[in-house]
Copies of this chain bind each other. A is one copy, B any other.
Amino acid sequence: MAHDTTPAELDRVCTAAAGAAAGFAALPLAERAELLRTIAAKLRENGVAIIAAADAESHLGLPRLTGELERTCVQLELFAAAVEAGTFLEVIIDHADPAAKPAPRPDLRRMLVPLGPVAVFAASNFPLAFSVAGGDTASALAAGCPVVVKAHPGHPETSQLVAAILAEVLPDGVFALVEGFTAGQALVGHPAITAVGFTGSLAGGQALLDLVNARETPIPFYGELGALNPAIVTPAALADRRDEIVTGFVGSFTMGSGQFCTKPGLLFLPAGHGLDEALGAAAAAATTGQLLTENIQKGYEQGLTRFASAPGVRSLAGPAPALFAVAAGDLRGELLDECFGPAALVVEYQSPEELFATVRDLPGSLTATAHLGGSDELAPALLPLLAGIAGRVIVNGWPTGVAVTAAMQHGGPWPAATTSLYTSVGETAVRRFLRPVAFQNVPDALLPPALQESNPLDIPRRVS
């Protein structure tokens, strides 16, 4: 049923979004929250049809998609609660101080306000939770911004089912779905668009970033581009938990057929680990399904060829899931490009010094994991290195599974994301779509309710 959105249609929905922005921004927070909750409720109501469409289009299976729909709904409800709590407005009030040094100070009240229409590019690998009503859309709506979603071509029917619910619930102009490659390009260049959220490949994100950079008016581009997600096993951890590490690692990198941006693509083991056989057997025993799209399948096969032909690489299992091993000294070049799908690389280090030097120079990642032993002597040096290259540092766990919560950080230094300053998952994701405004000596009755002296919204505020 998908058809490419025409340039005229694209302009119409973007212009409508711009026209709807002020009214949507001005809705009372309680009403904004209620809209998010209504969307969640209607997604659940239509869950059977949505999940069936998503399964037909993504092959991800009913159990996974049932969980993903619930995650999508819970995420909308989390943002609804955050909207009502009002912490995200980051209100700061400095009362006037005629005696302030070096100069008298006026009454200044700062809050965050919505940017305006946001373009969201849906991801292929989460047809619900990172798609039409996913995290980017939910956080932009929570921020008070209209949203224009570019549908992912991998699940057009699912996209339209979900889009119909959003369009029905939200005020006119606040939501629209557009389809087609050309429409996506035009979308990021449209003057009405004030920010872009994207989840996808490095190549796709880079291409859109170039288009954004060519705009006359600069806007922020939030691209979440995937990562290597290194997991480091120290000698002490290996001595403690050999079997558990093998099982946990293989389970994590093959989960969802390896189609998670948090898939652990690198496993650092001390040289001489003696796990070739156990890892190969565990990988061979893991089941993976059909990949999401033909493009992803093609990219996966190219990745395997890249791994197999790199100097010093040996194969432990394959082709799906696929596992390779290489010495840390040979970890370079194309081995540092993400291979989306059920493939991973074991990296063998000779010494703590070699481990630290290799980790320090890794590309930016969404996550970095340490498997430690008790009172592990490597830990104090290792953990700051991991925090230096990643947005989330995990100890004695695996990176797949991203909790939707206030303290989550899903992002990281380039090329994990186009900017490391934000998260695309969790409550603080709304900050991407907000800008501060300070009100100076504005009479109380003319202030936004969030800033009025009596605090009528009863929200947390920092008052000097």
Residues of chain A at the chain B interface (Cβ within 8 Å): 22, 26, 67, 70-71, 74, 87, 90, 92-94, 100-103, 105-106, 108-110, 113, 115, 209, 213, 217-218, 220, 372, 379-380, 383-384, 387-388, 390-397, 401, 403, 405-409, 411, 413-414, 418-423, 428, 431, 434-443, 446, 462, 464
Residues of B within 8 A of A92 (CB): 406-407, 428
Q: A387-B113, A388-B22 are in contact. Are A446 and B395 (CB under 8 A)?
A: yes
A462–B414 touching, CB < 8 Å: no
Most chain B CB within a 10 A radius of its CB, from A115, A383, A446: A446
Measured between beta carbons, the chain B residues less than 8 angstroms from A105 are: 403, 405
Set of chain B residues within 8 Å of A406, measured between Cβ atoms: 92, 94, 110, 462, 464
Contact B106 A441 (CB under 8 A): no
Q: Name the distance in Å between A416's Cβ and chain B's nearest Cβ.
A: 11
Residue with the greatest number of chain B CB neighbours at <10 A, chosen from A71, A380, A406, A428: A406
A23 to chain B, nearest CB (A): 11
Query: Considering the chains assembled together, what is the distance between the CA atoms of A379 and B428 in angstroms?
Result: 33
Cβ contact of A384, chosen from B22, B110, B217, cutoff 8 A:
B22
Please determine whether B218 and A442 come into contact, CB atoms closer than 8 angstroms: no
Given contacts A213-B213, A407-B92, A407-B94, contact A441 B394 (CB under 8 A): yes
Closest to A217 in B: B414
CB pair B407 A103 closer than 8 Å: no
Partner of A380, one of B22, B93, B437, B446: B446
Closest to A451 in B: B407
Chain B nearest CB from A97 CB (Å) reads 9
Please tell me if the beta carbons of B437 and A395 are within 8 angstroms of each other in the complex: no
In the complex formed, the residue of B with least CB distance to A206 is B218
Contacts of A22 in B (CB 8 A): 384, 388
Q: Indicate if the CB atoms of B428 and A393 lie closer than 8 Å.
A: no
Residues of B within 8 A of A418 (CB): 218
**Which residues of the other chain, B, contact A442 by a CB distance below 8 angstroms?**
383, 393-395
> With a CB–CB cut-off of 8 A, which chain B residues contact A388?
22
Of B213, B434, B440, which is within 8 A of A394 by CB? Answer: B440
Give chain B nearest CB distance to A228 CB in angstroms.
16
B464 touches A405 (CB 8 A): yes
Partner of A391 from B220, B397, B435 at Cβ < 8 Å: B435
Q: Are A441 and B108 in contact (CB under 8 A)?
A: no
Contact A393 B440, beta carbon cutoff 8 Å = yes
Contact of A395 among B70, B392, B441 (CB under 8 A): B441
What is the CB-to-nearest-CB distance from A22 to chain B, in angstroms, rounded to a whole number? 7
| Contact of A464 (CB < 8 Å), options: B218, B407, B436 | B407
Do B102 and A220 touch across chains, with their CB atoms under 8 A apart?
no
Knowing that A218-B419, A394-B441 touch, tell me 4 more A-B residue pairs with CB under 8 angstroms.
A67-B103, A105-B403, A108-B407, A395-B446
Q: Which of B26, B396, B443 touches A441 (beta carbons < 8 Å)?
A: B396
Contacts of A405 in B (CB 8 A): 94, 100, 105, 108, 464
Q: In the complex, what's the smallest C-beta–C-beta distance from A458 to chain B, in angstroms?
A: 17
Q: In the complex, are the beta carbons of B443 and A395 less than 8 A apart?
A: yes
Q: Which residues of B contact A408 (CB under 8 A)?
A: 94, 108, 110, 438
- B70→A438 contact, CB < 8 A: no
A407 touches B87 (CB 8 A): no
Chain B residues lying within 8 Å of A115, measured Cβ to Cβ, are: 420-421
Which residues of B lie under 8 Å from residue A113 when comparing CB positions?
387
In whole angstroms, how far apart are the Cα atoms of A428 and B434 in the complex?
14
**What B residues does A387 contact at CB under 8 A?**
113, 437, 439
Q: Nearest CB to that of A70 among chain B residues?
A: B102
The smallest C-beta distance from A70 to any residue of chain B, in angstroms, reads 5
CB of A376 to closest CB in B, whole Å? 9
Q: With A and B bound together, what is the CA distance between A446 and B405 in angstroms? A: 22
- Min distance, Cβ A384 to any Cβ of chain B, angstroms: 7
Q: 23 interchain pairs (CB within 8 A)?
A: A22-B384, A70-B101, A74-B101, A90-B428, A92-B406, A100-B405, A103-B403, A110-B406, A209-B218, A218-B418, A383-B442, A387-B437, A391-B435, A391-B437, A392-B439, A392-B440, A394-B441, A395-B441, A409-B436, A411-B436, A420-B435, A421-B431, A421-B436
Does B110 contact A437, Cβ atoms closer than 8 Å? Answer: no
